[in-house]
Structure 1
Amino acid sequence: MRLHRLAVTAFGPFGGTQTIDFDALSAAGLFLLHGPTGAGKTSVLDAVCYALYGGVPGARQTSGPARLRSDHADPGTRTEVVLDLTVGGRRLEVTRQPEQRRPKKRGTGLTTDKAQSWLREYDAATGTWKALSRSHQEIGEELAQLLGMSREQFCQVVLLPQGEFARFLRAGAEDRARLLGRLFDTHRFAAVEQHLAELRTAAQHRVRGGDERLLVLGQRMRQAAGGGPGPGGTPLDGLAPGDPGLAGAVLEWAALARSTARERRDIAAAALRAAQEAHAAAGRRLEEARELDRRRRRYAAARQRAAALAAGEEEHRRDRARLERARAAEVVAPVLDARERAEDERRRTALAEEAARGLLPAADAQAPAERLAGLERAVRRELGTLEAARQAEERATRLTAELARLESESGADEELLREADEWLADWETTRDAHQRRVEAAAEAASQAERLARRLDTLRRKLAAARHRDALTAEESGARAELTETHERALAAKQEWLDVRARRLDGIAAELAAELSDGAPCMVCGSPEHPEPARPGARHVDRRAEEAALDRHREAEEAHRRAERRLDSLRERLTAAAAEAGETSAAELADEAAALETEHTAARRTAAGAADARAAFDRLLREHDSRRTARQDAGRRAAARTSTREALLREHTELARQVARARGTAPSVAHRAAELEHRAALLAAAAEAAGAAETAARRLKDADARLADAVWRAGFDTPRAAAGARLAELEQRALQHRLDEWQAEEAAVAAELADPELADAAELPPDRLTGAETALKEAVARLNAASAAHAEADRRCAELDGLSADALADARRLAPLREEYDRVARLAGLAAGTSTENEHRMRLESYVLAARLEQVAAAAGARLAYMSGGRYTLVHSDARGPGRGRSGLGLHVIDAWTGRERDTATLSGGETFFASLALALGLADVVTEEAGGLRLDTLFIDEGFGSLDDQTLDEVLDVLDSLRERDRSVGIVSHVPDLRQRVPVQLEVVKTRTGSAVRHRGPAAG
């Protein structure tokens, strides 16, 4: 990789645009980069790193994009870095602009520009630049692939910080491991160590969990067995998870517990069988005693039942006689019921006849039934002659009603014609009035809509005008505040610059105050301090400068807040003024009030538009209705005249027919109703007389049959037969009592005749109590034996299950224990804690040791050249003191003494040689690790102040040798002698308006 040109604008301490021509600096092969502290030497290298990686090295990256921008830059100038370089055989130009705030192009205030990046490639065939990408991600991926190094590796390789490598030489193994791990990215090997440790821990947890489960199963088996197998304890006593032989001890205890439990179960089974036999014998004896007791109680009960039967013998005979008379009365019952029905029918028909004859005239009331029937037939014949006259009378009535209706309709039509003529006479005037009302309402609605739009616009302008006036007053106060904060910010900045200048003027004294005898100077590196600077009267310390800087920043922040507030107010004021115009709020308010009044009047008029239109529509419909009604009334009057004449002629003829037929009755219908009523009375009386005669004959026949049935059943009179009758339910109940008596009598006789019952009655009653007591004792013994056997059986089953679980767990635990042993061995080897790892070297340390061996080999050759063949760097894998790492040792071999010693014993000048050689060797190894990328531009930072003139010449010769094959080396140093020895220089000069770069030497001219 070769750098050609770097252009920075508003970056870091550079307020304007500064261009660095690396081609001109590299022409001599060796150039010097120098300048006062804080001028911006490091910012040059930061710009290169930012162009390639989009970020600056180390802790400066955490400051954010805002700190990349120069405080000296003009607000309108964008921060930008442009780098022209050749990498991987391609000439590229990278341009980056970080995110930054700038003044708005329109209005006031600030706006934020997003970060931007450009990548171009030079086409040698056409001599032009070709755009490749504007994507941050694509540019980063492209450059990372070409460079092959991370940002940290690039900064470590291109910029060789001698101070860090001097500390590296004196550092312990852990510090060296951290630096090498960061450069060579060996954290993946540390991750392997961690992963193996985690696998070991996980396997250990699994094995320990298995052991704990086995112990738990052992304790459960001890509980299931009811304690240990003997007074000597169990094989489980004293065991803990992780103990060898744990699984065997648990399985041994399980076998012993199972055997003991089975012996106890067999003993309990024998005891249970004996208790069962005793219980069965006691049960049989109890059954025999109970049977004898039942027989004794049965015989006593039979004697009591026999006494009860003897006491109820008389009542039994009465029931039997009563049932026999009831059954004899059942033969007479049908005839008796028939005679009662005949009596009821005769009485009912007699009453009906009497009522029907009472409705007839006196002349007909006593006539026989045949006479009454003949009179009815004569009335019916006369009624038939009135049917035609009755129909004529009904037709005459309908004609009278029709004539009355026609007369009424004629009067109504005449009234309708009169009203219609009167209404239609004013039709034209009424229609024009309604038409004008509809048109006026429609015009008012249109006007109200136009006024509403104007009023809405005017109201918005009035609100905007009032808002504009309020913002104008607020904007005046914001401008005054901005002016005040700007003046305070300028004063604070001037104060900070003055304090900073005073401190820089006396910085030498401040640095001298930290010197101590024998310690190297942090500026020149010399351990001798013959004339340290003294502070002047105006000197201030770091705290004073930082306090002034804090006041400056606070004032700047207050100024920015005032700017943002004023910008916001101006934007809102511009929008309000654009909407309100130039008219004052008072004028707009007056105009709005007048327009509101006019709009209210128009709305009131327009509100009647719907009613006016509806009234006009109703008027049109009424006009059409009245014209139609007038025409219909004329047609009806003409038709009505002819109809009335025909109806009058028919009505006169029907009246003559009706007068002849009704006689003295008011009407034919009245005459017909009279005849119909008389015929109905005669028919009812004839029917009732015939029914009464028939019922009397039936009653006489029923009396004869009843007398015969009573005599045959053995009763004296029908009343006696009726008194002996019983209801069916009562008969069944009486028969049931008789049957129960007979059955009870037979059962008692059988019980008293049984010899076994008689013998049992002679035995004493206390034999049952003794048998029950014996059975209770046998049951208690059986329950105890059964519970003991069940408990023994449960213990055996539980021990079998737990033993099976223990065996399964032991089988599962065996491969887990093997896995744990294997993983623990690997983890111990990787962590360096295993006895098999002789050097106690961790895996990451082993890889780092290999890298350090490569670095030492590359650095040793350079150190031998720089020291004239005296010193050579070698790698040592010896174990560190105490518990320190091994494999990361660095020794130097002194050819003059032939002895090997630690690098921490080197002097200041020797340490510089060794650290420079180590830095160059590390650069070679890292670039080879990154894919063999050639670095044609290198920078070496500080450490030259500790060298004498001869050693400095030798170092410069070594650095000059790096120029082979067009490689250029830049030295970053404050040493004045280097300005005389290195003719080509890049000087960084700082001023109050920002830093600048100057090229000096042959290439500058």
Structure 2
Amino acid sequence: MRLHELEVTAFGPFVDTVAVDFDALSDAGLFLLTGATGAGKTSVLDAVCFGLYGEVPGERHSARHLRSDQAAPDTEPRVVLRFSVGGRTFRTTRSPAWDRPRRRGEGTRRIQAHVVAEELREGTWTALTTRLDEAGLLVTDLLGMTVAQFTQVAMLPQGRFQAFLRAGSAERHDVLQRLFRTRRFEDVERWLVERRSTLRRESTRGHDAVRDLLGRVEEATEVAVPDDWALDDLETLAGLVEAGRLGTWLTEVGAGLSVAAEAQGERLVAVDATARAARDLLDVERSAASHRARAARAQQQLAALESERPRDDSDRAALADHRRAEPLLPLLRRVGAAGREAERTTRAAERHRAAAVALLGDRAPEPTPSHLTTAVHEWREAAAEARARLPQEQELRAARDRLADLSARCERTRAEHAQALVRLEEAERTAAAQEVTRRDLEAAAASLEVDAATEAGAARVLAAAEEHDEVAAELAGARERLTAATATAQDLREHYLDLREQRISGMAAELATGLAVGCSCPVCGSAEHPSPARATTTVGRGDEEAARQTHETADFTRQALAESVATLSARLTSLAATSGGRSVAACRADLADATSRHRSSRTAARGLRSLDDARDARQASLTRSTAEVASLEVRVAERDREHDQARDRVQHLAADLDDWLGRHDAAGSDVATLVDRLEAGVRTLVAATTATEEHHRAAASLDAARAEAREAAAGAGFADGVAVGEALLPEARVAEVEERWQRRERTRAEAEAVLADEQVRAAVATPARDVVELQREVDHAERVRDHVVAARRHALGRCDRLEELRTSLDHALGAWEPVRRSHQVTARLASLVEGTSLDNRWRMRLSAYVLSERLRQVVAAANERLAAMTDQRFTLEQVDEKGAGERRGGLSLRVRDDWSGTRRDPATLSGGETFVVSLALALGLADTVSHEAGGTALDTLFIDEGFGSLDAETLDGVMDTLDQLRDGGRVVGLVSHVAELRTRVPSQLEVSKARHGSSLRPVLDLG
């Protein structure tokens, strides 16, 4: 990965847009990023990191404040970075989240962070993504490392690699874990532990299932397991299963249950034979007792039949008379039917003749059949004439309906005409009133533009007055803060000068603290230090530098506050001129009055436009109303003419019809009613004629039937028909006599058959036995058999239940076995990666072992450069033992001094030695992380600070090592303000700070 160009706007200390051409700086392979303290050297590296990942290194990222405080309020912070990876060129444009002033009103609006990632393809920039997360993943995939790895590998941070050298095992573990992303090994440890617990629970459930099944086996078979079996212990039960003892015991229990079931079966055969013999004897005696009872009942039935013989004789005589009279029954029934018919026709004839007399009146007081026939003919002719008049009556009815409809239409048309007149008058009054209103609104709307301008001016004056009060309060506070900041800056300046004087006085003692055995003195060059100077003051270079930075920060704050006071003063003067010195209350009252006048004029203008828009509609409505009145007047005249014609037609038809009805004695009635009356009379006369004829025929039939019946009765031996009727019996009585006689005969035959039965005769001849005693013997034999059956069923049930439980037990053991074996394997692996297993001779966790191995690689890479930079004196060593108070082993570092043959703690190194060893360690760490990340070549590398602690000879060795980093086209940027580096590194990027923000200036040729 190589950087080509960086452009920064309103970012960190850079107020305006500044650009860095890394290609120009990289021609020599080494360049210096220099400038005064606080100018913004580290901010350049922050911009590079932000352009790639959207984050800045270290604690500065947590502040979430990247925009320049001195930039214009509406200037957007932006970082544009062009870089290349593997022959592909990319450009990212990022902007952090910032607060932009609102364009209208007060306050600010939060602008969210955004990004555009592009790739140069065939000379054209092609957008890849505009999502923050996708852009971060894109860069991570391209470089093969996260932001934490990149800042540790490509940007050796100020003071961070020295802290890594001197860190304890815990801190070094966190750094290595973050860089090498070894959390996956901790995930493996955690997964194995969780998997062990899961399998332990599953194995326990399997053990519980097997144990419960064995308990059910004990309960079902009533056989206890051996006393030495501890079923509640998982390992013991597993051992019994694996040794086969559990299967052997189940087989033995099954064999014992089978033997017991067979013995119960043999006993059942014997007791069943005894029970059957007792049951057979009881059945024989019960059958004999039943036959004896049947014989007794048969003898009783025969005696009862003999006592009822006289009644039987009487029933036979009555039944014989009935049989002799039964053939005459149809003749008797015909006589009865003829009599009933004659009686009916007599009543009907009398009823219809009475109706005919009532209809004819005095013209036929006693109508004969000939009179009735003549009357029927006359009434039918009258009915036909009346039906011929029905169409005339229907025409009259239709004419009256049309007359009523025309009357209703006339009324409706007159009502519509009256309503149209009312609408016309209302439209004329409305038009006149709206014309008056329009003239009033036109006068009120004339001042609309003047009122609008007045309201806008009053609003501007009010806003200026309100802001004037706010700026005045803000200016007072700013002046107070400026006074306090000025005093603070002056006090800190005096404190810094005092510390500087004290340090200069103790400079010899400070140089003496950096001396080491065998090292040359930076003043005299001697390797012997017989009496180094003693410090008389506790002020060191760090104290002086901290005081200077504190003073510069306070002075920068004072300058910013002074500029803020000047800006606020100018703004206050401008606002006073705009408001005219008026109070907010007075300005607000003026605005309310102007707003009210403007609102009134706007309302009048809207009303005027509405009236003008509706003028044509009003005129059209008035025209329509006038035309409607004229049209309705014509329709009223037409309706009246049609009504008069219909009335004349109704009067003519009614007079003719009333005259005809009067001639037929139907005045006041209608034709349809007369037709109905005449047709009803015809029907009455016809019915009377028919009823008379039927009466004569029925009388003749009755006389003939009676003569035939008398002749047949005499022939059958009966005196007359009455005697025949008395001999006849009802059908129910006949059926009852016949059924009783047949029942007696059946009973006699059945009784005689029972007494003749051989089994009955034998039972009567045999002595009776005690059935109750025989039943007790049968009950006892069956109880014994039932007990044996239950015992055998119980024995067979135990065998079957054992087989079922054994099948379930086989399934449970089959399910438990793979879980148990998996748990054993997982438990051994979990103990191994946890460092608690005897197989782990280092007693080291898996993640710690991996990090320890990575640290060995880092140390090996660091020693390759450390030997050259220290003239083969120092070598880094990794030690496995834990330090004092440390919980982790394998991550401790020592420095072996080959000149003195001792192993030193990194904390005992001098400032220059610490820088050299830390730099070698950081470079080794960078090489290892880069290789671990996938081999992505980092062609641009930054090293931040630390060179001021080196003497000339050590600096030469360090620079030689840095020169070697340029092999293969790598570019190294040194971040430092050490003056000697300016003479050593010709290509430079100078960062200058000023009151209004920092700036960048490339220095490519110092000669």
Is the TM value for this pair above 0.5? yes
Cα distance in 2, alignment partners of residues 609 and 839 from structure 1: 113
Number of aligned residue pairs: 902
The secondary structure found in structure 2 opposite 1:244 is helix
Q: List aligned pairs for 1:588-603, cutoff 5 A.
A: none
Q: 1:455 to 1:489 in 2, by over 3 A?
A: farther
CA distance in 2 between partners of 1:218 and 1:915 (Å):
68
C-alpha RMSD of the superposition: 6.8
Q: Distance in 2 between matches of 1:27 and 1:359?
A: 150
Question: Which residue of the other structure, out of 62, 65, 75, is the alignment partner of 2:73?
Answer: 75
Shift of 1:75: 0.7
Displacement, 1:21?
A: 7.0
1:291 aligned residue (274, 287, 291): 287
- Structure 2 distance, partners of 1:863, 1:268, is 96
Cα distance in 2, alignment partners of residues 12 and 812 from structure 1: 66
- How far residue 150 of structure 1 moved from its aligned partner, in angstroms, is 2.7
| TM superposition shift of 1:795 | 2.2
Instruction: State how far apart, in whole Å, the 1-side matches of 2:598 and 2:787 are.
Output: 113
TM superposition score normalised by structure 2: 0.69
Q: 1:51 — aligned with what?
A: 51
Q: Aligned pair 1:12/2:8, yes or no?
A: no
Residue in 2 that maps onto 1:996: 998
Closer/same/farther in 2, CA of residues 821 and 595 from structure 1, 3 Å limit: closer
Shift of residue 735 of structure 1? 1.5
1:426-460 alpha-carbon deviations (Å, 9 max, x no partner)? x9x9999999887777788999999999999999x
Q: 1:706 aligns with which of 694, 713, 720?
A: 713
Q: Match for 1:784 among 763, 782, 787?
A: 787
Instruction: Name the structure 2 match of 1:268.
Output: 264
Is residue 78–residue 95 contact of structure 2 (8 Å, CA) maintained in 1?
Answer: yes
Contact 2:261 2:792 in 1 (8 A): yes
1:618 & 1:610 partners in 2: Cα distance? Answer: 12
Give the CA deviation at 1:918. 0.6
Aligned to 2:537: 531
Q: 1:301 to 1:234 in 2, by over 3 A?
A: farther
- Within 1, Cα distance between the matches of 2:964 and 2:350? 168
> How far did residue 60 of structure 1 move?
3.2
**Deviation at 1:278?**
3.4
Residues in 1 aligned to 2:536 and 2:700: alpha-carbon distance in whole angstroms: 177
Once the two structures are superposed, the pairs formed by residues 407-806 of structure 1 within 5 Å of their partners are 479=467, 482-483=470-471, 486-487=474-475, 490=478, 494=482, 501=489, 530-532=536-538, 583-585=597-599, 618-624=632-638, 692=699, 695-696=702-703, 698-709=705-716, 711=717, 718-751=721-754, 757=760, 767-806=770-809
Distance 2:355 2:955 in 1: 170
- Retained in 1: the 8 A contact 2:119–2:128? no
Taking the aligned partners of 2:260 and 2:1006, their CA distance within structure 1 comes to: 111
Residue 147 of structure 2 aligns with an amino acid whose one-letter code is R
Q: Secondary structure at the match of 2:876?
A: strand
The counterpart of 1:278, out of the listed 274, 277, 288, is 274
1:938–1:747: structure 2 CA closer, same or farther, 3 Å change rule?
A: same
Per-residue deviation, 1:776: 3.0
User: What is the rounded CA distance, in whole Å, between the counterparts of 2:390 and 2:239 in structure 1?
Assistant: 136
Long gaps (5+) in structure 2: 358-365, 504-508, 516-533, 569-586, 664-676
1:861 aligns with 2:864: yes
- Of the three residues 128, 136, 154, the one matched with 2:150 is 154
State the secondary structure of the residue aligned to 2:10. strand
Q: Which string of whole-angstrom CA distances, capped at 9 and with x for unpartnered residues, describes residues 972-998 of structure 1?
A: 56889989999998776767x565357
Shift of 1:320: 3.7
Measured in 2, the distance between the counterparts of 1:525 and 1:754 equals: 148
- The aligned counterpart of 2:942 is 938
Kindly state the Cα deviation for residue 727 of structure 1 after the two structures are TM-superposed. 0.8
The whole-number CA distance in structure 1 between the counterparts of 2:144 and 2:682 is 140
Supply the AA of the counterpart residue of 1:330: E
Matched AA of 1:996 = S
Displacement after TM superposition at 1:862 (Å): 1.9
Cα pair distance change 1:345/1:106, threshold 3 Å: closer
CA distance in 2, matches of 1:806, 1:274: 38
Conserved? CA contact 2:345–2:694, under 8 Å: no
TM-score by length of 1: 0.69
Is the CA contact (8 Å cut-off) linking 2:420 and 2:625 kept in structure 1? no
- Give the counterpart letter for 1:784 in structure 2: H
Residue type of the partner of 1:319?
D
Over 3 Å counting, the alpha-carbon distance change for 1:250 and 1:172 in structure 2 is farther
The CA distance in 1 between the partners of 2:681 and 2:921, in whole Å, is 156
Shift of 1:73: 2.4
What amino acid does structure 2 have at the position aligned with 1:251? Answer: G
Unmatched segments (≥5 aa) in structure 1: 362-371, 516-520, 560-572, 656-669
**Residues 1:213 and 2:209 aligned together:** yes
1:921 aligns with 2:924: yes
Helix, strand or coil: the match of 1:778?
A: helix
Contact persistence 2:291–2:759 (CA under 8 A): yes
Structure 2 CA distance, aligned partners of 1:192 and 1:834?
16
Residue 239 of structure 1, CA deviation:
5.3
Query: 2-side partners of 1:679 and 1:878: how far apart?
Result: 145
Residue 728 of structure 1: CA displacement? 0.9
Rounded to whole Å, the distance in 1 between the matches of 2:171 and 2:709 is: 145
C-alpha contact (below 8 Å) 1:162/1:943 kept by paired residues:
no
8 Å CA contact 2:322–2:728 kept in 1: the answer is yes
**Could you tell me the percent identity over the aligned residues?**
32
User: Shift of the alpha carbon at 1:736?
Assistant: 1.3
What is the 5 A alignment of 1:889-908?
890-898=893-901
Quick one: which amino acid aligns to residue 933 of structure 1? A
Range moving further from structure 2, 685-694 or 207-216? 685-694
CA distance in 2, matches of 1:456, 1:740: 124
Q: Report which stretch shifted further, 603-612 or 845-854.
A: 603-612
Structure 1 residues 507 and 47: CA distance shift in structure 2, 3 A: farther
CA distance in 1, matches of 2:156, 2:59: 17
Does the Cα contact within 8 Å between 2:372 and 2:689 map onto a contact in 1? Answer: no
Q: Specify whether residues 682 and 148 from structure 1 end up closer, same or farther in structure 2 by C-alpha distance, changes over 3 A only.
A: closer
Does residue 244 (structure 1) correspond to residue 239 (structure 2)? The answer is: yes
Please state how far the C-alpha of 1:680 moved relative to its aligned partner: 10
Displacement, 1:785? Answer: 2.8
Q: Residues of 2 paired with 1:676 and 1:919: CA distance?
A: 138
- Post-superposition shift, 1:272? 3.4
Q: 2:781 is matched by which residue type in structure 1?
A: A
2:671 is matched with none
Conserved? CA contact 2:356–2:684, under 8 Å: no
Question: CA 1:291/1:109 → structure 2, altered by over 3 Å: closer, same or farther?
Answer: same
Give the secondary-structure state (helix, strand or coil) at the position aligned to 1:58. coil
Say if 2:2 and 2:84, in contact at 8 Å, map to a contact too. yes
